[in-house]
Structure 1
């Protein structure tokens, strides 16, 4: 109950909206529509629900790096603050297009070519495109159904060497398997600061992993880690190879740490949770689902689904 509402006191529409926003915003990965259905039914007030949804869905979509298919089927766009032009329009840097998004329905309604001022200069695009090519190779190997993108975060109008600029790498992979009562997601954001003076690229990463198992219970994994590294500023192609190798190293290292953590858990920890899955009739594979299947094996366990 919101602050200021006593026991048995009727909540105001504002308080109801705030509570609804909290539940929607905190829905596990891929489950906001299930939560929304229940929230709408509990509220019994379409106007309050629609106000809450209008506030919660955009933030949820950005926080979870939700990917949506482009209307022309040329690919997918990631909903992220780095591509946000305004609350409903998002840049797809790979195709140089802008998609208009319906956040609540989670689909793109229309597409237009990006204007020149919305795109980086030719010099910056060399670095962005080279990195995008190497990133796509890596994600194709590690997350066969993962989505990735590279955005310019600063200095997009720089025409040549002599100034600093920034790029951001986004990786989003998810598995939706509600029939097996489990969902999961992998999200990583890598900010790259290209320093012309020192001729170095400073690399900062944040990896977030979430998994939710909810057969007759509610078990969640929600973990993240921050990473730092650097590499020499080289040509666009050489910088891209070096940066992606660093990203691959840190993500693989984090995977290994997750594997070790969950394989070393006592069997007794989950002894009451190891029920048989309703479809496969096999024990829930904790060691796979919470580690391997959230990274390189997303193709089999999380990203592709069964």
Structure 2
């Protein structure tokens, strides 16, 4: 396998990293590449793709909150090609743009960033309602609301919540994104859940749920109080999905996982563990007597 093939394999491993474990995967693939400089340069596109897709969060310089790193948060300068690797993002909540290092996950070079004046009132109202919903349902979660480029009636509502528990060998991430189109009267969403259990094994859950919710007629761009009604729709949809996940877990525990193992051993009868211990003790005593007599 040549160097390019090794970098390609390393990039695929990174893109499949479970929540919160990409640094562990990166350290492992260092053994494949054996060249830190080439590794950092070669896997940077994969790291960027991973961070954007996974809604990695970042400290907003000069502010005491986090913002989501995503495609909707990217800042494209006038002299920049659309296909270029973009390392600058913005946080609408603080009206700040910043550079983001996809390897270290650190932010730098903050600059003021003014949002579109026409769409900002409704976006800000959406943000307020989203943060209220976040505080009620997602402990330690992060949410960002972005306006769609060159539109005053389309918005991206993004939510991410991470839970890492390496001491107990599990990690998980909830991601949800909703595209609100006030002109088309539509709210389209996607919920993605990834959970990894790795105590004496390797079990992963990866599930996606799509939602297409029609908006009531009273939700209009000029009515900022409509924002709370949008979040009420999201709350109802996510509540139903969480309930369905709980039902699925219960069914797996009662049916699926039980079907993966025998209820009884090959003898079709339960083991008598007291007898098993007796057999073992008897064998050891017999072995001990035989050894003593032979000497």
TM-score normalized by the length of structure 1: 0.77
Q: Which has the higher contact order (CA 8 A, sep 6+)?
A: 1
Q: Distance in 1 between matches of 2:66 and 2:126?
A: 18
1:264 maps to 2:248: no
Aligned pairs for 1:121-136 within 5 A: 121=117, 123-136=118-131
- In structure 1, the residue matched to 2:185 is 201
Instruction: Indicate whether 1:44 and 2:34 are aligned.
Output: yes
Secondary structure of 1:237 counterpart: coil
Residue aligned with 2:186, SS? strand
**Residue 116 of structure 2: which of 107, 113, 120 is its match?**
120
Alignment partners' CA distance in 1, 2:223 and 2:103? 38
In structure 2, what is the equivalent of residue 62 of structure 1?
Answer: 52
Q: Deviations over 1:62-112 (max 9, x none)?
A: 111011112323311211000111511101011100021011001212311
Deviation, 1:139, is: 0.6
Instruction: Report deviation, 1:237.
Output: 2.6
Contact 2:187-2:212 within 8 A present in 1 as well: yes
| 1:266 CA drift (Å) | 4.1
Structure 1 segment 1-306 matched on structure 2, within 5 A: 11-86=1-76, 87-114=86-113, 116=114, 119-121=115-117, 123-156=118-151, 158=152, 165-195=153-183, 201-231=185-215, 232=217, 233-234=219-220, 235-267=222-254, 269-270=256-257
Q: Secondary structure at the match of 1:244?
A: helix
**Number of corresponding residues:** 248
- Aligned 8 A contact 2:60 2:91 in 1: no
| Aligned mates of 2:241, 2:148 — CA distance in 1 | 25
Q: Is the 8 A contact 2:154 2:179 kept in 1?
A: yes
Deviation string for 1:1-31 (max 9, x for gaps)?
xxxxxxxxxx121111111110011101111
In structure 2, stretches of 5+ residues that fail to align are 77-85, 262-295
Indicate the larger mover: 216-225 or 233-242. Answer: 233-242
Q: Scaled by the length of structure 2, what TM-score is found?
A: 0.80
Give the gaps of 5 or more residues in structure 1.
Answer: 1-10, 159-164, 274-306
- Runs of 4+ in structure 1 over 6 Å off: none
Distance 1:35 1:143, change over 3 A: same
CA contact (8 A) 1:190 1:206 kept: yes
Give distance in 2, aligned partners of 1:82 and 1:61.
Answer: 13
- Matches of 1:48 and 1:13, distance apart in 2: 9
Q: Between Structure 1 and Structure 2, whose CA radius of gyration is higher?
A: 2
Task: Tell me, yes or no, if the aligned pair for 1:130 and 1:236 is still in contact at 8 Å.
Answer: no
Contact 1:126/1:236 (CA < 8 Å) preserved in 2?
Answer: no
CA distance in 2, matches of 1:179, 1:266: 23
Q: Which shifted more, 30-39 or 78-87?
A: 78-87
Q: Once the 2 structures are TM-superposed, how far is the Cα of residue 269 of structure 1 from its aligned partner?
A: 4.2
